[in-house]
């Protein structure tokens, strides 16, 4: 059913393309005739025909745009479920740069929180979805920075706009231009899909508060999909977990009153763990720790899968390399540059405090990732074509042999 409707959309486009081509051919013939006819009327006709050809070219461009969108959507169909429906766990860790890195980490965290609370919408509230932010854990420094923090951004009904893969591939729905494409994309993304390209190392260059020399610091961000609660027991079977609490010694129970509620959950096979002590309720700490470990384990497994699969030389497909330097925030030059899509914007402070950074860069990165997919498809085409011609030759060869 789904495949049929997607194919029908593409076949419609093919028909349109054929129509345009046919029209073009007949117009060109007409043009040639008119030119050879000569005269004043003829030159007027010529102008008209040329204008029609220009219009036709525009239609053709729009059509190829639609073709691209139909055949290779911005959101990889393989990842559709994850990117539209899953919540996001955001790990932020201050890297090199000491206090400065910690301060910037705090600013980045505030920026992500603001974006998340605005539901991924822009300043005017356009495109906002109802998302919630919950801080799972945070480790603060005395100066107001953070050493590390984990947040979870969740959408109340799970996901972006309830995008249903190919069903909405009606001709009217296919975006006409880049802006529509961007809005269409952003409206479909759930928290994980929205934040996913923030994974990597963010570099900041500025003069620290109590210094005169410019300093470069780094903050690393990891975005992981957060599994819904009901999926946790399957993803993290209890026998694979070790749960440590502060109650180890003494008789426990009614014998001892304690306010220490720290819980550490360790996933034994991978060694991945999380320790949460922010909440007063031990149960809540355990719930948060499980969520965090589940996200980290899932993400770790996916990364392993990506590495194991045949060489993907792209940096964006499969989520990207977490240790890659992805963006620089240069305060003196007042510029944010994303090194992957090579896009820069000015006004670092306002972008950070307003929280629009993610929304701004995400579309470019999705388009870049799609290009990589297209390239991969083209490569596969070439490889397949070679294979076919080789096997065709082989068959010819064997036939010739047997005829002797």
Cβ 282 to other proteins shortest distance, Å = 4
Q: Is the Cβ of residue 144 or residue 347 nearer to other proteins in the bound state?
A: 144
Q: What are phi and psi of 355, to 5 degrees?
A: 75, 20
Strand locations in 246-353 (E): 263-267, 273-276, 325-330, 335-338, 343-346
Strand locations in 161-247 (E): 200-206, 215-226, 241-245
Q: Is the Cβ of residue 147 or residue 335 nearer to other proteins in the bound state?
A: 147
Helices (H) and strands (E) in the chain, counts: 10, 11
Cβ 265 to other proteins shortest distance, Å = 11
Cβ 279 to other proteins shortest distance, Å = 6
Cβ 250 to other proteins shortest distance, Å = 9
Q: Is the Cβ of residue 77 or residue 252 nearer to other proteins in the bound state?
A: 252
Cβ partners under 8 Å of residue 106, min gap 6: 140, 144, 145, 146
Cβ partners under 8 Å of residue 111, min gap 6: 352, 353, 355, 357
Cβ 93 to other proteins shortest distance, Å = 20
Q: Is the Cβ of residue 102 or residue 368 nearer to other proteins in the bound state?
A: 102
On the 0-12 / 13-18 / 19+ scale of CB atoms within 10 A, 372 is: middle
Q: Which residues bind other proteins (CB under 8 A)?
A: 140, 144, 243, 245, 247-248, 251-259, 261, 279-284
Q: How far is CA 180 from the centre of its chain?
A: 18
Strands 335-338 and 325-330: antiparallel
Spatial CA neighbour of 100 closest among 149, 141, 151 = 141
Cβ 251 to other proteins shortest distance, Å = 7
Cβ 143 to other proteins shortest distance, Å = 10
Distance CA 283, CA 303 (A): 30
Cβ 136 to other proteins shortest distance, Å = 16
Q: Is the Cβ of residue 86 or residue 287 nearer to other proteins in the bound state?
A: 287
Which letter, b or e, does each residue of 297-334 get, where b requires 16 or more Cβ atoms within 10 Å of its Cβ? Answer: bbbeeebeeeeeeeeeeebbbbbbebeeebbbbbbeee
DSSP H or E segment with residue 139: strand 131-140
Q: Is the Cβ of residue 280 or residue 387 nearer to other proteins in the bound state?
A: 280
Q: What are phi and psi of 88, to 5 degrees?
A: -120, 140
Cβ 252 to other proteins shortest distance, Å = 5
CB 294, CB 232: distance < 8 Å: yes
């Amino acid at each position: 059913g789904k495949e049929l409707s997607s194919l029908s959309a593409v076949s419609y486009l093919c028909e349109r393309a054929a129509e345009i081509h046919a029209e073009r051919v007949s117009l060109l013939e007409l043009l040639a005739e008119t030119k050879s006819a000569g005269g004043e009327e003829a030159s007027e006709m010529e102008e008209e025909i040329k204008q029609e050809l220009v219009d036709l070219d525009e239609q053709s461009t729009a059509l190829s745009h639609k073709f691209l969108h139909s055949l290779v959507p911005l959101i990889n169909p393989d990842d559709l479920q994850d990117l539209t429906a899953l919540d996001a766990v955001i790990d932020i860790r201050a890297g090199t740069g000491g206090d400065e890195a910690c301060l910037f980490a705090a600013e980045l965290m505030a920026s992500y929180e603001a974006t998340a609370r605005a539901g991924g919408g822009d300043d005017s509230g356009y495109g906002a979805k109802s998302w919630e932010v919950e801080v799972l854990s945070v480790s603060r420094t005395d100066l107001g920075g953070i050493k590390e923090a984990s947040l979870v951004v969740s959408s109340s009904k799970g996901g972006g706009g309830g995008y249903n893969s190919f069903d909405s591939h009606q001709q009217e729905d296919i975006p006409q231009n880049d802006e529509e494409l961007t809005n269409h994309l952003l409206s479909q993304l759930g928290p994980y899909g929205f934040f996913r390209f923030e994974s990597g190392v963010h570099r900041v260059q500025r003069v620290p508060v109590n210094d005169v020399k410019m300093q470069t610091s780094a903050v690393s961000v990891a975005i992981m999909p957060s599994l819904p609660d009901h999926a946790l027991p399957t993803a993290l079977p209890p026998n694979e977990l070790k749960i440590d609490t502060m109650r180890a010694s003494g008789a426990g129970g009614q014998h001892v009153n304690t306010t220490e509620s720290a819980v550490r959950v360790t996933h034994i096979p991978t060694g991945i763990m999380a320790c949460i002590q922010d909440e007063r309720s031990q149960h809540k700490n355990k719930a948060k720790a499980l969520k965090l470990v589940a996200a980290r384990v899932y993400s770790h497994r996916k990364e392993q899968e990506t590495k194991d699969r045949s060489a993907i030389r792209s940096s964006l497909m499969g989520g990207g390399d977490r240790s890659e330097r992805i963006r620089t925030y240069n305060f003196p030059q007042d510029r944010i540059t994303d090194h992957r899509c090579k896009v820069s914007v000015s006004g670092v402070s306002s972008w950070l405090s307003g929280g629009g950074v993610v929304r701004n860069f995400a579309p470019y990165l999705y388009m870049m990732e799609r290009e990589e997919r297209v390239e991969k498809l083209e490569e596969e085409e070439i490889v397949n074509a070679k294979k076919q011609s080789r096997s065709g030759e082989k068959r010819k060869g064997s036939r010739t042999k047997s005829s002797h």
